[in-house]
Amino acid sequence: MCSGIRGVVLLFVPTVVALHCYPVKGCAGMPLRDAALRPAGVAHDRGFMVVGVDGVFHSQRRTPRLAVIRPDIGVDGELLTLRADGADVVAIRTVLDAARCDVTLFGVPYRAIDQGDIAAAWLSDVLGERCRLVRVPPEHDRVTDGLMPGTSGFADSSAVLVTSRSSLDGLNERIAARGALPVPMARFRPNIVVDGWDEPHTEDGVRRMAIGDAELGFAKPAIRCVVTLVDQRTGAKAGPEPLRTLAAYRRDPEGGVAFGAKFAVSRPGKLSVGDEVVVSQWR
């Protein structure tokens, strides 16, 4: 994309226009200006998880009200603050030296660190059911799958989810043609949003890219689920969009519908809003 001004050609390069961290799996995201990208993704991303008394993870698939919980975590990860409308703010000094407990994520067992009764009581009150807050332990050694394998905390799979504005614009044009209302990018809960790719779903074809000091490698398409039907402001389901429209043109050969792409971290580093996205390898 380019434009001319009195003979000068201005090139619009792909850049990062939004960064998000989701400290507690399923809860609201934190917008960031700068982020440290670590082997498991954006620092502290999905480092915490809400589980039932049986240790099974909660997500917006089962508990859409998680969306109304707004976490904030310090750079050092030692203080986690939780907010929700109608509830007192609670600040939790995070725990790393407690005994490990058993948790289950998509049927796979992991070890985690319970974050105590104060966090559990607050979450149970806000969500209306008994639950606990757990944290990824330092020895967590989960390996994720995909074209480029990697690691992640308690994310669904790969470390980093990348979407683009052109993909959302193309989707919303199709939704509008059906007479429905557009959906915001928040429905897809991305870590990195890129602007400057003219074609929708350009992220699908990226195989390696550098952003700031970091480098990412393509793992797999992001297969979308019923979480995209949840209004991220209210925690209420507001379907059938975008899944209805995605099903008409974004069916993945392996099953499901895709929007965005998942990446593993091949080189950790710092990245920021405004950084250029430099693709070194395409599909």
List Cα–Cα distances, 126 to 58, 65, 79, 130, 228, in angstroms: 14, 8, 20, 10, 22
**Which pLDDT does position 1 carry in this prediction?**
42
pLDDT, tens digit, 9 for 90 and up, residues 36-81: 999 999 999 999 999 999 999 999 999 999 999 999 999 999 999 9
Half-sphere exposure of 205 (CA within 13 A, CB side): 8
**Which pLDDT does position 12 carry in this prediction?**
77
Residues in the chain with pLDDT < 70? Answer: 1-11
Q: Are 40 and 153 in contact (CB under 8 A)?
A: yes
pLDDT, tens digit, 9 for 90 and up, residues 171-186: 999 999 999 999 999 9
111: which 2 tokens? 């070890």
**Which pLDDT does position 3 carry in this prediction?**
43
**Which pLDDT does position 10 carry in this prediction?**
47
**Which pLDDT does position 11 carry in this prediction?**
57
CA 238/CA 4 separation, integer angstroms: 43
CA 131/CA 25 separation, integer angstroms: 14
Indicate the average pLDDT of the chain: 95
Superfamily classification of domain 10-19+145-282: PK beta-barrel domain-like (2.40.33.20)
What are the residue boundaries of the structural domains of the chain, listed by start?
Answer: 10-19+145-282, 23-28+44-135
